[in-house]
Structure 1
């Protein structure tokens, strides 16, 4: 626990801000290009608003200098009504601008989420074995959702501030260049500290997102079915709560720091904003006494000064917002830049319906460059025959079967199906030919029917029932309150191990593949469930090429070929009768593991 809490500390100096390169900016801009017409409308609203916003202060000047001294009620009413009308138009433009900017930012967010989800789907199992589920969830959700403010506020505010600043400065200089110079003299004090504040906010934002990922990781692990059971069985609720509480507090502390960073800087800006009008009143009063300016001009100057200081203040804060946005973009692009290790070759062929011949030719495989898992694996499997893979745990049996549908790629050698290298065919057409029944079957938290349709989305009701009868699960399903519409719960928790296994077998039967992989499908079942599974396997394996990782003697005896795997190599191969009489590894396995299962 102490170690976990210690990991919560971090050093800001270890986090480096990203370099804003042309490549990064171009990459970010590419998400805005599809919506360029709406962006032009937003810019149009900003330009019109920045110009119309100048009119009310000018009208105030004319009210004070013309309408009131002349006691002209008609002129006074005209100026007031025009001012009110412009205020209403500005409000409508603001609503339109907000709608358009939100619409664009939301659609960019949707696009990025879709791209991220699609990209992650194509990642190999190596990626998922190393990545934290909480990290994946954070980058797909909160990271991407965080960048919607880039256009919704940051970009729009920047454009608005620039147009307002330029238009206001022009009007001020036109009215009186001396007074304008006095008003602008304090502007540099707004800009100088922004780099330091932006860098600090970047560091805090980066670490904040990392801690949110860790928090999501704790939530996902402890509130999954397996995690919840493990926590309860080992009575670790208090320990997990303490871990969550510490991490949650760290996230809150970081978010508080992020929200208040630069407050002293903003306080300084606020002070100078208050000083500006006083300078205008002082120097403007002097010019009025000298007869160079009117009272209306002084009041209009003070009103316009707010339009001058506000955009400069916003632009200085935008630098801070941009650095925070870059933290999110960097994290998102890191995932987008993850190499897709397994993908279709440019000229990949569509694998048509196969017979089911499988050949491993001097296959080598490693999860990383340092440790080899498989060495020089070679064997051939005829169509429609069964191969039993036996060996100690960790010998490489599951790895061999994972290579057939290209869940991993070989690093040397080749795997062929019907004499066609599997790397030369499309992944989709390859995997449609293969069905897998895993040791721990996975069911979605949905109805039994929808879980079955995962094998064939357009399956008819008769096909579903037929598959379930073949898997010896139909009669059980009909005893449930809602039959096939029964929701199975998270990971199928409402079903027993044997029931889940038979549902997964029915799902594969619906898929109707030519090659079947059974990963220790009966190793953890009771004798009754095993008997049902064995019966269900008869239609599943009939006339199909099958690879069975088995610890059951009955499965091994039914196989056409046995591969004995040891330390990532094929130590022996042949039929049961010949291998059991050799003084080799299979005989040892038979004596220690299989022989006791004979009846």
Structure 2
């Protein structure tokens, strides 16, 4: 929560020099690699642009022939021929434009397609630390807005730059061929466009960055207040007015910046438009003098002025090239920032698929910290015997969930070793390890799909009988049958249409359907009523027979029959044993037991 009770939305500090991307050779080569698979199409685009640039020269030249030859000579046949040639040039240019647009779309959309696939694969390999620390909505922004922006980079920056360059070169050569003196006179005006470009580029760059900063703040407020959890929190604490005021403030600031950015460009274009009128006036003045001297025709003067406008337009458009290039490179840098993040948890070079069924799980002096100098686990050593039930108990924040998350390598331990069947789990392939572990978490996540789809996520090949058996074992089958759509009932976003106990039982059924040899249950019965908890405990006792299971329990009554109970406190195992022996020790477990049952009795 931010000041005044509003939702927090981190403000990015803008520094003009630091914000500008470092355009290095290595970065440019890295960008080019994404275009390499489509070099043939890109070459074809460049060819089309070159032909279009040449065809664009023909109408003014044909106009000169109409004025200087067809009309004075009253040659109707030549007039029709020249007009038809001009019309044909326009049609061919239009057809080439259609082809170019198709190629532009093909190249840019395929690059976006490739980058999205690469990004999704990369994000799948990122460790849990990444997702627990990343800002809300940022991953979606990188996957959608940032990568989708690459389409604009190709169409607006690369293609426009190439097109303007071809037009500029072809037009300049034509002007010099026609009359080098007039060409020099017309080109003298160009520095008037270039000189203010740098300053205007800096102004627009700064405004663009500030605008993007405010838009990011807007998105952050929307993500926090209009997501399911944020919305409920806002309603329960009646903070609608505060959230609205915060959004309106940032929205107004973004709007003002966008208006400033738009008007800054308009004033700049007004100045450039004024400068463009100087060139034609000079051509009319000096060209008129040459006409009077008999050195130049009227048609040549008109053609020259038309071609001069064709020369100035690319220059005017390329004044934004500085800003466009920086924006484009900055966009690639944001995407590359994610690609450059180390996945951390990957398969070792010699990792092999291995079976874990019937194998002991052994922790040997395991240490782990979420942040440097803040250890979460210290010297954890224990053995979870094959086919046994090991329970983890202790106060909140003691490290119980952290221990369970290390087994499927959701986090990577800092030191020590975890073995299954005497083999370091880092020697297993991640797929083979995780496919043999079932995890029921405190916070049950369900997709916004049907009950059947959520259950089959664990085992897409499961039969209807297996599906029913898993649900019966989790005591959720009868409830599902009472729903109007049964197993085809849509559960809503994160399972919002189900109660906490129903979601938890769905989660248990999903793991049972996977039927892994190792099952980890993190407060799996915490949301269940007493009756459901009793029946599930009876069912779990039979279903977990022969499996290696680890249960993190808040209610000590659920783990009294455990083969081994580990008492975790401040990241260390301070006691271990069975229920009766731990009670007899009169230690931490006895204290937890007394406090819990005294509270329940009261």
Aligned to 2:62: 59
Matched, 1:288 2:288: no
Residue 247 of structure 1 is matched in structure 2 by 250
Output the TM-score relative to the length of structure 1. 0.96
For the Cα contact (< 8 Å) 2:398–2:568, is it kept in 1?
yes
Unaligned runs of 5+ in 1: none
Q: Which residue of 2 aligns with 1:125?
A: 128
Aligned to 1:22: 25
Distance 1:22 1:383, change over 3 A: same
Q: Measure how far apart 1:146 and its partner are.
A: 2.0
Determine if the alignment matches structure 1 residue 215 to structure 2 residue 218. yes
For residue 106 of structure 1, the aligned residue among 83, 106, 109 is: 109
Q: Deviations over 1:530-587 (max 9, x none)?
A: 2343244234422211111112233221210010111101101111111111132111
Aligned-residue offset at 1:94: 0.8
User: Contact 1:138–1:213 (CA<8 Å) still a contact in 2?
Assistant: no
Instruction: Please tell me the root mean square deviation across aligned C-alpha atoms, in Å.
Output: 2.0
Correspondence 1:529 to 2:532: yes
Per the alignment, do residues 15 and 204 of structure 1 end up closer, same or farther by CA in structure 2, a change over 3 Å counting? farther
Q: Distance in 1 between matches of 2:413 and 2:214?
A: 36
TM-superposed CA distance for 1:269, in Å, is 1.5
379-388 or 308-317, larger mean C-alpha shift:
308-317
- The match for 2:339 is 336
On the 8 A contact 2:357/2:518 being kept in 1, the answer is no
- 2:504–2:528 Cα contact (<8 Å) kept: no
Which residues of 2 match residues 291-302 of structure 1 at below 5 A? 291-302=294-305
Whole-Å Cα distance in 2 between the matches of residues 116 and 544 of structure 1?
Answer: 37
CA–CA distance in 2 between the matches of 1:515 and 1:199?
A: 60
Q: Distance in 2 between matches of 1:110 and 1:206?
A: 27
Structure-1 residue corresponding to 2:183: 180
Q: Pick one of 422, 439, 445 that aligns with 2:425.
A: 422
Q: Is the 8 A contact 2:207 2:260 kept in 1?
A: yes
Matched, 1:74 2:60: no
Cα–Cα, structure 1 residues 114 and 457, in superposed 2: closer, same or farther, change >3 Å?
Answer: same
Q: Which residue of 2 aligns with 1:562?
A: 565
- 1:337-366 CA-to-partner distances (Å, cap 9, x unmatched) read 222121122222112353241010100000
Q: CA deviation at 1:437?
A: 0.7
CA distance in 1, matches of 2:506, 2:187: 75
User: Which one of the candidate residues 577, 590, 594 is aligned to 1:591?
Assistant: 594
Partners of 1:532 and 1:203 in 2: CA distance:
64
Q: 1:497-550: per-residue Cα shift (whole Å, max 9, x none)?
A: 111111111111111111111111122332133234324423442221111111
Count of aligned positions: 599
Cα offset, 1:244, TM superposition: 2.1
* Residues 440-480 of structure 1, C-alpha deviations (whole Å, 9 max, x = no match): 21111100000001101122222211211222111111110
How far apart, CA to CA, are the structure 2 residues paired with 1:431 and 1:529? 28
Matches within 5 A, 1:495-534: 495-534=498-537
| In structure 1, distance between residues paired with 2:539 and 2:274 | 80
SS in 2 for 1:361: strand
The alignment status of 1:454 with 2:457, answered yes or no, reads yes
Corresponding residue for residue 47 of structure 1: 50
1:375 maps to which residue?
378
Higher mean C-alpha deviation, range 6-15 or range 260-269: 6-15
The answer to whether structure 1 residue 164 and structure 2 residue 167 are counterparts is yes
Aligned equivalent of 1:544: 547
- Structure 1's 536 and 441: CA in aligned 2 closer, same or farther, altered over 3 A? farther
Where do 5+ consecutive residues of structure 2 fail to align?
Answer: none
- Is this contact kept in 2: 1:143–1:209, CA < 8 A? no
Counterpart of 1:146 in 2: which secondary structure? helix
Selected match of 1:472 from 471, 475, 481: 475
Deviations 1:254-288 (A, max 9, x none): 43344444433322211111221111111110111
Q: Give me the whole-angstrom Cα distance separating, in 1, the residues matched to 2:19 and 2:350.
A: 42
* CA separation of 1:122 and 1:588: change in aligned 2, threshold 3 A: same
Q: CA deviation at 1:210?
A: 4.0
Q: Which residue of 2 aligns with 1:393?
A: 396
Query: In 2 relative to 1, CA 34–9 (structure 1 residues): closer, same or farther, beyond 3 Å?
Result: closer
What is residue 411 of structure 1 aligned with on the other side? 414
Distance in 2 between residues matched to 1:247 and 1:346, nearest whole Å: 50
8 Å contact from structure 1 (residues 374, 568) kept in 2: yes
Instruction: Work out whether residues 448 and 488 of structure 1, in 8 Å CA contact, stay in contact via their aligned partners in 2.
Output: yes
Aligned pairs (5 A) from 1:4-19: 11-13=14-16, 15-19=18-22
CA contact (8 A) 2:437 2:520 kept: yes
Q: Which residue of 1 aligns with 2:492?
A: 489
**Residue 218 of structure 1 aligns to a residue in which SS?**
helix
Distance in 2 separating the partners of 1:470 and 1:275 = 86
| Structure 2 SS opposite 1:31 | helix
Query: 2:264 & 2:360 partners in 1: Cα distance?
Result: 65
Deviations 1:149-189 (A, max 9, x none): 11112111111111111111111101100000011111122
State the distance in 1 between where 2:119 and 2:400 align. 32
Q: For the Cα contact (< 8 Å) 2:393–2:568, is it kept in 1?
A: yes
1:219–1:16 CA distance, 2 compared to 1 (3 A): closer
**Distance in 1 between the 2:213 and 2:427 partners?**
39
Alpha-carbon separation, structure 1, partners of 2:238 and 2:379: 46
Structure 1 8/65 Cα, relative in aligned 2: closer, same or farther at 3 Å? same
User: 2 CA distance for matches of 1:14 and 1:318?
Assistant: 18
Aligned equivalents of 1:423, 1:253: Cα separation in 2: 54
